[in-house]
């Protein structure tokens, strides 16, 4: 096995709030009958020898330094093998029944947990456990707690003395079987101080703080586990996890290094603690609800050394509704696009439930074993500080931004602390799905997707059956013809499938959660959405929800980078049409190409002349045409200097009939223009009033030959000769 300078996130340290009638495991509550009937404390006390703590601590020094993927020990077994038949004291209660009591002491224990290898309570019987001063009472345990395999366990009782009290009513003739096989002797990682001091580091943030807002469902699915492996005891945490049958099967995901070498008998005596958390930010913890026993379904056999460190069990029996648990959903992709931010929820050092936030994308990491088995994340600063992981957080889930589990916690660096946070490494659901081995016992897939649906993401479900409520919104309900409308699903809870009907749209159906569609036709259109979750379906139709308004036709406009060029040069045209045309048709007189459907074409003009340009711009609302006559002038431009405003250049010269006169000034006052032939006959006369810099002279209807152009401005005259060729 490879060695790393890391610390595995183990050591879930138990810290319970004790109260006289605290309900912990599934029990009926109530008060021990010795208190009700004020029985004297004259019952048997059994003193058992303390474990060899010197040897145990020496073992811990070695194991803690070299243990690899295994949690540090917090307790050891003290063998008992006693029952109601061979030990304890029975006391008759006239007119009611009888009570059996036994106190067991193991010196200097911080707490004692009781384990049974034959546990059976007849209907009507009640079992209680309490500490020396009766400030902590567990029970009553009844016939509803009877395990099918006879193995059972009850929670730790504070101190080095625990009393068991069994009440048998007169109406019950059947004998109980309460055989105590061993005690869990807790000697470290147990904290019963409730004056504000906790085992968790100071930077940890309660789930009741604002950081927990919006994560209530995910919080309800997370629990801690009292782990028994052989004759040793440990703590870890994890989460209930949903499967594609959505049948609320009690699958629970934790880390393989937490399960270690636990056998089926050990698993039968694991205890799962739900709802151990503060009710206010910075407050103390309340009671917890617990379940005993589970069955292993699948695991990473390498315990993270060559895999993703997952451990999937099924908790025995049913979880009562009043626990209010949530079966968390999962994301089994290797894609971090939904994991740019999220949280980890855990029980650091066995303390009340905490929440840690990340706000940078999860990174795929090969750090742990050289394989892409883990996500790496960095913790973020939030309103109440920077909550991180700690020894005791192992097996806890990390959630993506949609509240889906993406992995279970393996650990981080040994240097991890509140002032020097380590990145955290979570075994990927993606890898755990089917890559730790080829059999069902090494894969999540057969258990979390029993119907082989192929789903990559699955929402969680509440303990309570809640049919869905369909709802949605659109980014606009007044689109213009041709616009795209984006729809946002608002349905809840735990939607599995979406069925959209989008009247008048393209496409007109969708199974996406948040689809888009294009509306090309005008009018009013309905939108219908049907949603399905684990508990039913619902449909909503919003009538005439989308009103598509007509699109205005284009207003065709264009420009050119130049309008006067020499033969063989290229002109670049730019469409400047208003109202967003979607197609264009150009005609270029004298150009190459002569037509184009590009929005902004480039055209070469090889022959001298003056040429028209035509643009037809079109959209869903219609089309518009613009023709610019003699817009492009191609030919030789005179190089003479223009001495005064009435002076001009003329081109092309020679020309085929269209000549451009370019004057010296933009505004030249009144100019008289005369054109005459070689015989002096005036063939055209006109007055140009405040004209612009250029003027187009059309002689295309005249005969080929030489012509003279004269301009007169006041007492200034300019004459130029042009050649007309056909």
Q: Which residues are catalytic?
A: 257, 309, 394
List C-alpha distances in Å: 111 to 13, 74, 116, 158, 277.
12, 11, 17, 4, 21
Tokens standing for residue 32? 């021990």
Phi, psi of 322 (to 5 degrees): -70, -10
> Of 553, 493, 545, nearest to 523 (Cα)?
545
User: By three-state DSSP, how is residue 531 classified?
Assistant: strand
- 356 sits in which H/E element: strand 354-358
d(CA 274, CA 366): 33
d(CA 104, CA 88): 10
Number of H helices, E strands in the chain: 7, 52
d(CA 617, CA 598): 11
Cα 436 versus chain centre, distance: 25
Burial of 610 (0-12, 13-18, 19+ CB in 10 A): buried
Tokens standing for residue 372? 């892409």
d(CA 583, CA 420): 61
> Of 448, 227, 432, nearest to 347 (Cα)?
227
* Residue-by-residue DSSP string for 378-419: ----BTTB-----TT-TT-EEE-TTS-EEEEEEEEETT--SS
Place of tokens 């099967």: 249
Cα 380 versus chain centre, distance: 16
List C-alpha distances in Å: 627 to 24, 558, 587, 624, 696.
87, 10, 9, 10, 16
- 650 sits in which H/E element: strand 648-651
CB-CB contact of 472 with 530 (8 Å): no
Cα 265 versus chain centre, distance: 38
CB-CB contact of 565 with 605 (8 Å): yes
Q: Which sign, positive or negative, has the C-alpha torsion 68, 71, 76, 80? A: negative
CB-CB contact of 238 with 222 (8 Å): yes
Tokens standing for residue 420? 């020097």
CB-CB contact of 317 with 293 (8 Å): yes
CB-CB contact of 559 with 577 (8 Å): no
d(CA 238, CA 651): 88
Tokens standing for residue 416? 């991890």
d(CA 411, CA 422): 9
- The beta strand positions in 187-270, using DSSP E, are 222-229, 232-240, 251-255
Burial of 586 (0-12, 13-18, 19+ CB in 10 A): buried
CA quadruple 615, 618, 624, 628: dihedral, nearest 10? -10
CB-CB contact of 177 with 295 (8 Å): no
Tokens standing for residue 160? 């080095």
d(CA 178, CA 3): 45
């Amino acid at each position: 096995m490879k060695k790393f300078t890391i610390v595995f996130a183990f050591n879930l340290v138990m810290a319970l709030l004790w109260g006289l009638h605290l309900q912990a495991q599934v029990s009926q509550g109530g008060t021990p009958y010795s208190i009700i009937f004020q029985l004297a404390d004259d019952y048997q006390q059994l003193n058992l020898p303390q474990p060899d703590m010197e040897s145990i601590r020496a073992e811990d020094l070695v194991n803690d330094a070299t243990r690899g993927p295994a949690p540090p020990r917090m307790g050891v077994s003290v063998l008992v093998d006693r029952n109601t038949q061979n030990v304890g004291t029975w006391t008759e209660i006239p007119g009611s029944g009888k009570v059996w009591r036994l106190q067991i002491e193991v010196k200097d224990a911080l707490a004692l947990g009781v384990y049974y290898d034959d546990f059976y309570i007849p209907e009507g019987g009640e079992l209680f456990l309490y500490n020396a001063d009766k400030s902590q009472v567990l029970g009553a345990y009844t016939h509803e707690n009877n395990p099918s395999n006879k193995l059972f366990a009850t929670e730790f009782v504070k101190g080095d003395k625990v009393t068991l009290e069994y009440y048998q009513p007169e109406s019950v003739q059947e004998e109980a079987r309460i055989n105590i096989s061993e005690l869990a002797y807790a000697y470290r990682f147990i904290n019963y101080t409730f004056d504000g001091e906790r085992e968790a580091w100071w930077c940890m943030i309660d789930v009741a703080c604002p950081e927990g807002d919006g994560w209530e469902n995910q919080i309800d699915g997370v629990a801690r586990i009292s782990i028994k492996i052989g004759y040793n005891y440990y703590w870890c945490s994890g989460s209930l996890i949903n499967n594609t049958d959505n049948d609320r099967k009690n699958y629970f995901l934790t880390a393989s290094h937490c399960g270690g070498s636990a056998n089926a008998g050990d698993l039968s005596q694991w205890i799962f603690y739900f709802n151990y958390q503060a009710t206010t930010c910075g407050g103390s913890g309340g009671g917890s609800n617990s379940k005993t026993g589970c069955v292993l379904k699948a695991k990473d056999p390498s315990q993270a050394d060559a895999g993703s460190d997952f451990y999937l069990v099924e908790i025995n029996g049913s979880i009562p509704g009043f626990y209010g648990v949530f079966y968390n959903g999962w994301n089994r992709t290797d894609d971090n696009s939904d994991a740019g931010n999220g949280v980890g929820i855990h029980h650091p050092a066995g303390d009340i439930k905490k929440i840690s936030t990340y706000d940078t994308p999860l990174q795929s990491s090969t750090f742990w074993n050289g394989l892409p088995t883990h996500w790496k994340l960095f913790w973020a600063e939030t309103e109440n500080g920077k909550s991180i992981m700690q020894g005791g957080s192992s097996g806890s889930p990390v959630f993506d931004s949609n509240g889906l589990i993406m992995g279970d916690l393996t650990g981080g660096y040994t240097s991890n602390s509140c002032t020097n946070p380590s990145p955290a490494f979570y075994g990927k659901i993606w890898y755990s799905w089917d890559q730790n081995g080829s059999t069902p016992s090494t894969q999540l897939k057969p258990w979390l997707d029993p119907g082989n649906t192929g789903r990559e993401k699955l929402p969680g479900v509440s303990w309570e059956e809640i049919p869905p409520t369909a709802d949605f919104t659109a980014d606009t309900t007044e689109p213009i013809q041709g616009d795209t409308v984006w729809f946002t699903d608002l349905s809840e809870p735990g939607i599995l499938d979406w069925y959209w009907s989008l009247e008048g749209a393209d496409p007109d159906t969708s199974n996406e959660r948040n689809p888009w569609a294009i509306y090309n036709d005008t009018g009013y259109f309905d939108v219908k959405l049907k949603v399905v979750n684990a508990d039913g379906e619902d449909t909503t139709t919003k009538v005439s929800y989308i009103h598509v308004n007509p699109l205005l036709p284009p207003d065709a406009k264009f420009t050119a980078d130049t309008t006067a060029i020499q033969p063989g040069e290229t002109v670049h045209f730019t469409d400047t049409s208003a109202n967003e045309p979607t197609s264009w048709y150009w005609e270029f007189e004298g150009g190459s190409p002569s037509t184009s459907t590009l929005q902004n074409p480039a055209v070469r003009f090889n022959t001298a002349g003056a040429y028209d340009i035509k643009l037809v711009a079109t959209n869903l609302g219609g089309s518009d045409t613009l023709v610019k006559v003699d817009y492009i002038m191609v030919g030789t431009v005179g190089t003479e200097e223009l001495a005064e405003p009435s002076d001009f250049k003329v081109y092309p010269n020679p020309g085929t009939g269209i000549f451009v006169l370019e004057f010296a000034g933009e505004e030249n006052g009144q100019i008289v223009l005369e054109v005459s032939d070689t015989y002096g006959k005036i063939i055209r006369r006109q007055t140009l009033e405040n004209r612009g810099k250029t003027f187009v002279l059309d002689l295309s209807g005249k005969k080929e030959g030489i012509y003279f152009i004269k301009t007169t401005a006041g007492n200034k005259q300019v004459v130029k000769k042009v050649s007309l060729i056909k």
